[in-house]
Structure formats: C-alpha cells, structure tokens
Structure 1
Amino acid sequence: MAIIDLMTALMGVSMGFLAFLVIGGISGASAWIFYPGQSKGPKPVKLLLAVFLGFVVAFTSSYLGQYLGFFQSGQMLEWLSAIFAACLVGCIFTALAK
C-alpha cells in the first residue's frame, strides 16, 4: 500500500512539473513571438531564456500560492495564477530584451 501511495505522489509531482513546463514554455514563447517591437534578428538563446523564465515563474507562483494558502494543488486558481504570472513576466522580459 505504501508503494502505491509513493507512486501516486511521484506521478503527481512529475505531472505538475510537465504541466508547468508546458504552460511556462508556451507563455514565454508566445510573449517573445507576439510582443510588438522590432526584433534584432532571430536569437534562439533569448527565446529559450523566455521559455525557461516562463516555466520558473509558473512553477514559483503555483507553489507560493499553495504555501500562502490562497489555493490547493489542482484548483483552477492555481492554473490561472501560473498562466497569468508566466505571461506577465514573459511580456516584461520581452519588452526589456527587444
């Protein structure tokens, strides 16, 4: 029984990690691609940095909100805060980088 509980806990952590990677990655990449402003040529390093920054912010906002007691894991507010924070930081990074 303990093995099943451990597997369930580990699968939940890995799925959360993958979900935040996708949410943050899409938010960071879309902020870089669609943000208005003149781009100084294709710079894949800055695009990857925007994707990574989006992932880190989505992950951080989720766990910070859980720690402060605003929501629990899996609630809609958790996902909305992760998406909003990743988009906001992606836009700020892109505005400063372009």
Structure 2
Amino acid sequence: MGFLAFLVIGAISGASAWIFYPGKSNGPGPIRLLLAAFLGFIAALASSCLGQYLGFFQSGQMLEWLGAIFASCLAGCIFTALAK
C-alpha cells in the first residue's frame, strides 16, 4: 500500500471521527480537523509498519488495509474524545 492510500484512509477516518463524534463543540476548526486527519494518517502508517515488522502480514494484503482503517479510526476517536 502506498503513501497516498495511507493519507486518504487516515484523513477520511480522522476527519469523520471529528465531525461525527458526539459532544459539545463550536464546530470543527480547520486546524483541529487537519490535526485529526494527520493523526489518522500517522496511525495508519504506524499500524502497517508495525504489522509488517511483527510478521502479521505482508504489504498489500487485506489485513494491512483493515489494520490501517481500524488504527486510524481509533486514533481519530481518541483525539476527538480528548479534544472536546
């Protein structure tokens, strides 16, 4: 999986976690929204690298995609829970 796929997965899951997470907010500010997307990207990249290093999967397998999506959603939810 390439850099662009991690960027898209992380940005979508981080931004959607910020937008749809319940809680009081003054609206998603552009800096916090970009930070949530960036943290989702970092989480997707880290889960892929860690999974390949530990031997759970090889590059391009479905488990890598699922791990990247799960890790970026989890990072986005944790960030928004702490930020709101």
Equivalent position of 1:73 in the other structure: 59
2:38 maps to 52
Which structure's CA Rg is the greater one?
Answer: 1
Q: CA deviation at 1:43?
A: 1.3
Aligned positions, number: 84
Higher relative contact order (CA 8 A, sep 6+): 2
Gap regions ≥5 residues in structure 2: none
* Alpha-carbon separation, structure 2, partners of 1:70 and 1:42: 36
Task: Measure, in 2, the Cα distance between the counterparts of 1:88 and 1:19.
Answer: 17
1:64 equivalent to 2:50? Answer yes
CA–CA distance in 2 between the matches of 1:32 and 1:49?
10
**Following superposition, which runs of at least 4 residues in structure 1 exceed 4 angstroms of deviation?**
none
More helix by share: 1
Q: Taking structure 1 as the reference length, what is the TM-score of the superposition?
A: 0.82
Say what the alpha-carbon RMSD is for the aligned residues: 1.0
What CA distance in whole angstroms lies between the structure 2 residues aligned with 1:40 and 1:75?
Answer: 40
Q: TM-score, normalised by structure 2?
A: 0.96
What CA distance in whole angstroms lies between the structure 2 residues aligned with 1:73 and 1:83?
15
